[in-house]
A and B are shown apart, each in its own frame.
Chain A
Amino acid sequence: MTQALIQMNDVHFRYPGSEEWVLKGASLEVEKGEFLAIIGNNGSGKSTLCKAMNGLIPHYYAGDVKGAVSVNGKEAFTSAVAVLSQEVGYVYQDFEQQLMRPTVLDDVAFAPLNFGKPDYKEKALWALEILDLMHLKDQSIWSLSGGQKHLTAIAGALALDPGIIIVDEPVAQLDPYHAKKIYEKLKELNEKHGKTIIVIEHHTEFIADYARTLLLMKDGQVNWKLPVHEGLSRVQELMGLGIYPPQVTQLAAGLNEQRNMSYPITLEQGVSFFQPIPKEVRALSRQMVNGEKNALKTIEAEDVSHHVRTMAGDKKTILNNISLTFGEGEKVALVGTNGAGKTTLLKALAGLSRPSDGEIRVEGNPIRKIRVSDLSDHVAYVFQNPEEMMIQDTVEKDLSFFSRSRGRLEKDQAFLSELSTSFNLHDLSKRDARLLSGGQQRRSSMAIGVAMRPMVLLLDEPTASLDIVSRREMTRMLHKTSDHCKTVIVATHDMELVAEWATRVIVMEEGEVIFDGSPRSLFQDEKTWKKANLRPPQIVELSLQLGCKPVFLSVKEMEEAMKVGAALECMA
């Protein structure tokens, strides 16, 4: 009888000190060579399930455990973590915390060295070779980009040559371009080197492109495990759990066009599925226009440049001669890959860092002469990491800190309480914001920004590392910020946010602005977004390939056009 590589049988687990069982009878089998994606909403037990595979449960988290797990024939509950971690490599969601050594080679060699392997260096070099990281081997960890750090973390897991590699949410902390590179590498590891890959993933478009099997976790149990195509076609069930299938799948399901019992799940399948598109639909897309730019200036940057010195002493240009004017009522998305200069520009606008050259003006006044605490009456900046907005010990105190320090707490009380309601923070107001969930933290940090009642609100990646449900919620919250602030500028990698929220999008690359216009005009300008390594929403690519110009920005938009188009076609 052949045994599956990973076998779990009716596994129950609860964390020490907790009443509630996180795993409630999970059973599954994973075959050698699988590429498995695990989905499920927050708290469904995805990470816990994976930690039961490498022995962290129950050896590191010594909670109550029942059932049986075997990995490559070894009984997991009775084997040491040291034994299991040579079978299972684990890459964490916050992978930066997993890197412990100062240079890339050192870090990758860390595990084999710890296990006293005489050929630890060869093993590390081998892992670097496979992941194309040889050119970085002597670089220090903190000089790497996010994508490079993630690959280094994978190399560190790979260096022990485990048969199974588990990656927890590879896309959450990376921009889509780098995320795709990671997946290409995982695919190579799977196909060329026979590794079994397990990913925990919210982004179903990546699942559709790369995984072959899909597992749904629900309430601590494995609800089902199916071939990807079949799993993603269960649109209603997934949507009900707050998991959004790829946009082409959503569109097909919305139009209720099922052929051979399944929907398209990848872009290519979508194109052949919807082709040919009725010309009436294409005509409809042409009628969509964008709002005009508003004339009233709020904040402007003129010839702003910024240079820094690197560790090696070279001069590096972060911003190169940027001139931008922002007006009242604008919702601006600032996009570009990591390192394009988005954060530096936002900080310069907020007066938190002084650019080397150029001038920034708020309502015509140069900010050079204004103190940061006075400028923040007009311009507020919300850090990328929400915890950096938490300087008090409760959400309520953090919200009111600005008003209190200006001696107008009484006056602002009504506004703050309204804010707390509209950002859904009432139940959390007495809690320490640092201990909230990712989505709640983001919500609080955004509200803290708005509580400063600024004319211009600057937000640095407000939807980073959130699951899709929380991201949708943040997009809704973002719409609300415009009730309070005249101009909202958001640096982001989230192209669905750009498509659904922004009125204007600015593309940065290597410190320069290479595009400034409406989201629709950006997305149909294939050359520009390819140049900036952006990845538009799938529905945009679908409309481009089907020849719809201007493009559709959301599933809903296209679905409606298709319905109307079909009706028009019938009449014709």
Chain B
Amino acid sequence: MSAWREKLSVEYVKMELMKTAIGNRDTFLAQLDPRILIIWYLAVSIVPWFTFNEWILFTLVVFTSILAIISKVSPLILGLLSFGVVSEIGWITVVVLFFGGDITAFLALLTFTMKITIMSIASIAVFASMDPEKLSDALISFGVPAQFGFGVSYGYRMLPILLDEYQHIFQSFLMRGKGPEKKGVLGWRMAVYYGKIMVLAFYPMILNVAKRTRTTVEALEVRGFPYSLHSKEAKKQKLSYMKVGAGDLVFLGGTMCFLLMIFSGIPYFTA
């Protein structure tokens, strides 16, 4: 019991979220050029929508899952995702049975779930491996405005600050407020009470953090950020570190071949 508690503490959740956000730097996917990764991600998430063959989809689920495992995705995130998928399949079963549907209806809904799952796993694998800086630089090199690119990387930087602030304000509510005397069946009264605090704690957090960013905006001015927006030279230098290498091309090409193979091969065998 106590071991469980220790594992699932708030600190643990915070740490796992942070790890996911910052990106594992030493995994296979992390070594690749961020632009290649984004192209790869788009390809893998769009492709499933062009087929209804459940075997192709199943192979893609396995393929993306393997990549997710190689990328050392946080067990917490994987757990949440599988919980979502399993409960979704459960719901589908209930709905299908309730409306008197048969196996075809079930399969139709299942293919939809698998498509969503492929997209989710692929995005987790990619974004957990990608340093936010690289993500933002890749976006800028695709021609997204630099303000947006900066917003992405700054958002990541603010994440730990937001998490801490939120936790403290939540604790403030917990300490000075008072929960229901009786917990209710399955603790529903407590659940409602906690739910309420979780919502209420948002407002002070946003206000406090927004107030502090005033300095940031001013400092951006002093540190030449507005200047860099109009300077081609600055952009060129900022992005100069990104180079597409042989490994990147092999990875992208390999995936394309693999997709081609399963799309042409599997219907042939399962027809």
Q: Given the complex, which residues of B lie within 8 Å of A110, measured CB to CB?
A: 223-225
Knowing A114-B227, A373-B178, the reply to whether A391 touches B173 (Cβ < 8 A) is: yes
Q: Given the complex, which residues of A lie within 8 Å of B213, measured CB to CB?
A: 97
Q: Give the nearest-CB partner of A54 in chain B.
A: B222
Q: Given the complex, which residues of B lie within 8 Å of A141, measured CB to CB?
A: 157
In the A-B complex, the 5 residue pairs with the smallest Cβ-Cβ separation, listed nearest first, are A114-B224, A116-B233, A114-B228, A116-B234, A97-B215
Contacting pair A102 B216 (CB below 8 A): no
Q: Which B16-57 residues have a C-beta within 8 angstroms of A?
A: 18-19, 22
Contacting pair A311 B133 (CB below 8 A): no
A448 to B157, CA, bound (A): 31
Minimum CB–CB distance from B169 to chain A (whole Å) comes to 6
> Of B12, B176, B215, B219, which is within 8 A of A376 by CB?
B176
Contacting pair A373 B179 (CB below 8 A): yes
Contacting pair A383 B168 (CB below 8 A): yes
Whether B208 is near chain A, meaning CB under 8 Å from some CB there, is yes
Q: Which A128-154 residues have a C-beta within 8 angstroms of B?
A: 140-142
A43 to B262, CA, bound (A): 71
Q: Given the complex, which residues of A lie within 8 Å of B177, measured CB to CB?
A: 373, 401, 405
Q: Give the nearest-CB partner of A80 in chain B.
A: B227
Contacting pair B172 A102 (CB below 8 A): no
Whether A381 is near chain B, meaning CB under 8 Å from some CB there, is yes
Whether B58 is near chain A, meaning CB under 8 Å from some CB there, is no
A-B contact pairs, 17 of them (CB 8 A): A56-B222, A90-B222, A98-B215, A98-B219, A101-B153, A102-B133, A114-B228, A114-B234, A115-B234, A311-B15, A354-B5, A372-B175, A383-B172, A388-B204, A389-B172, A390-B204, A391-B172
Whether B171 is near chain A, meaning CB under 8 Å from some CB there, is yes
A111 to B208, CA, bound (A): 27
A114 to B230, CA, bound (A): 10
Query: 16 additional contacts, CB 8 Å, given A100-B157, A101-B157, A115-B234?
Result: A54-B222, A90-B219, A97-B214, A100-B154, A100-B220, A110-B225, A115-B228, A116-B231, A309-B11, A352-B175, A373-B176, A373-B177, A388-B165, A391-B201, A405-B176, A434-B204
Minimum CB–CB distance from B182 to chain A (whole Å) comes to 13
Minimum CB–CB distance from A112 to chain B (whole Å) comes to 8
Whether B88 is near chain A, meaning CB under 8 Å from some CB there, is no
Q: Given the complex, which residues of B lie within 8 Å of A156, measured CB to CB?
A: 223
> Of A94, A118, A352, which is within 8 A of B215 by CB?
A94
Contacting pair A114 B223 (CB below 8 A): yes
Minimum CB–CB distance from A563 to chain B (whole Å) comes to 47
Minimum CB–CB distance from B150 to chain A (whole Å) comes to 8
Whether B104 is near chain A, meaning CB under 8 Å from some CB there, is no
Minimum CB–CB distance from B135 to chain A (whole Å) comes to 11
Q: Give the nearest-CB partner of A156 in chain B.
A: B223
Contacting pair A401 B175 (CB below 8 A): no
A113 to B219, CA, bound (A): 15
Contacting pair A352 B169 (CB below 8 A): no
Q: Which A82-111 residues have a C-beta within 8 angstroms of B?
A: 82, 85, 90, 92, 94, 97-98, 100-102, 106, 110-111
Whether B237 is near chain A, meaning CB under 8 Å from some CB there, is yes
Contacting pair A60 B223 (CB below 8 A): no
Contacting pair B222 A401 (CB below 8 A): no
Contacting pair A388 B222 (CB below 8 A): no
Q: Given the complex, which residues of A lie within 8 Å of B219, measured CB to CB?
A: 90, 92, 97-98, 100
> Of A60, A356, A388, A452, which is within 8 A of B169 by CB?
A388
Minimum CB–CB distance from B108 to chain A (whole Å) comes to 44
Contacting pair B227 A115 (CB below 8 A): yes
A387 to B172, CA, bound (A): 10
Q: Give the nearest-CB partner of B219 in chain A.
A: A98
A142 to B63, CA, bound (A): 35
**Which of B179, B218, B233 has the most C-beta atoms of chain A within 10 angstroms of its own C-beta?**
B218
Majority SS at the chain B contact face: helix
Q: Given the complex, which residues of A lie within 8 Å of B212, measured CB to CB?
A: 94, 97
Knowing A100-B154, A114-B225, A140-B22, the reply to whether A106 touches B133 (Cβ < 8 A) is: yes
Whether A531 is near chain B, meaning CB under 8 Å from some CB there, is no
Whether B97 is near chain A, meaning CB under 8 Å from some CB there, is no
Q: Given the complex, which residues of A lie within 8 Å of B223, measured CB to CB?
A: 85, 98, 100, 110-111, 114, 156
Q: Which A40-63 residues have a C-beta within 8 angstroms of B?
A: 54, 56, 60
Contacting pair B175 A376 (CB below 8 A): yes
**Which of B176, B213, B237 has the most C-beta atoms of chain A within 10 angstroms of its own C-beta?**
B176
A388 to B201, CA, bound (A): 10
Q: Which A56-85 residues have a C-beta within 8 angstroms of B?
A: 56, 60, 81-82, 85
Q: Given the complex, which residues of B lie within 8 Å of A553, measured CB to CB?
A: none
Knowing A90-B222, A101-B157, A110-B223, the reply to whether A116 touches B228 (Cβ < 8 A) is: yes
Q: CB-CB contacts of A341-359 with B at 8 A, as 1s and 0s?
A: 0000000001010101000
Contacting pair B133 A101 (CB below 8 A): yes
Contacting pair B216 A98 (CB below 8 A): yes
Q: Which B156-175 residues have a C-beta within 8 angstroms of A?
A: 156-157, 160-161, 165, 168-169, 171-175
Minimum CB–CB distance from A469 to chain B (whole Å) comes to 23
Knowing A100-B219, A352-B171, the reply to whether A113 touches B178 (Cβ < 8 A) is: no
Contacting pair B172 A388 (CB below 8 A): yes
A106 to B154, CA, bound (A): 13
A385 to B15, CA, bound (A): 22
Q: Which B218-259 residues have a C-beta within 8 angstroms of A?
A: 218-228, 231, 233-234, 237-238
> Of A85, A383, A452, which is within 8 A of B224 by CB?
A85
Contacting pair A372 B227 (CB below 8 A): no
A60 to B220, CA, bound (A): 11
Whether A192 is near chain B, meaning CB under 8 Å from some CB there, is no
Q: Given the complex, which residues of B lie within 8 Å of A405, measured CB to CB?
A: 176-178
Minimum CB–CB distance from A141 to chain B (whole Å) comes to 7
Q: CB-CB contacts of A366-400 with B at 8 A, as 1s and 0s?
A: 00000111001000110101011111000000000
Whether B261 is near chain A, meaning CB under 8 Å from some CB there, is no
Whether A283 is near chain B, meaning CB under 8 Å from some CB there, is no
Contacting pair B153 A85 (CB below 8 A): no
Q: Give the nearest-CB partner of A81 in chain B.
A: B221
Contacting pair B178 A406 (CB below 8 A): yes
Whether A308 is near chain B, meaning CB under 8 Å from some CB there, is yes
Minimum CB–CB distance from A111 to chain B (whole Å) comes to 4
Q: Give the nearest-CB partner of B201 in chain A.
A: A391
Minimum CB–CB distance from B92 to chain A (whole Å) comes to 38
Q: Give the nearest-CB partner of A117 in chain B.
A: B237
Contacting pair B221 A401 (CB below 8 A): no
> Of B132, B215, B234, which is within 8 A of A102 by CB?
B132
Whether B6 is near chain A, meaning CB under 8 Å from some CB there, is yes
A323 to B5, CA, bound (A): 24
Q: Give the nearest-CB partner of A389 in chain B.
A: B172
A405 to B223, CA, bound (A): 47
> Of A85, A142, A381, A406, which is within 8 A of B175 by CB?
A381
Q: Given the complex, which residues of B lie within 8 Å of A54, measured CB to CB?
A: 222
Q: Given the complex, which residues of A lie within 8 Å of B216, measured CB to CB?
A: 97-98, 100
Contacting pair B221 A120 (CB below 8 A): no
Minimum CB–CB distance from B141 to chain A (whole Å) comes to 15
Q: Given the complex, which residues of B lie within 8 Å of A115, measured CB to CB?
A: 224, 227-228, 231, 234
**Which of B9, B133, B178, B222 has the most C-beta atoms of chain A within 10 angstroms of its own C-beta?**
B222
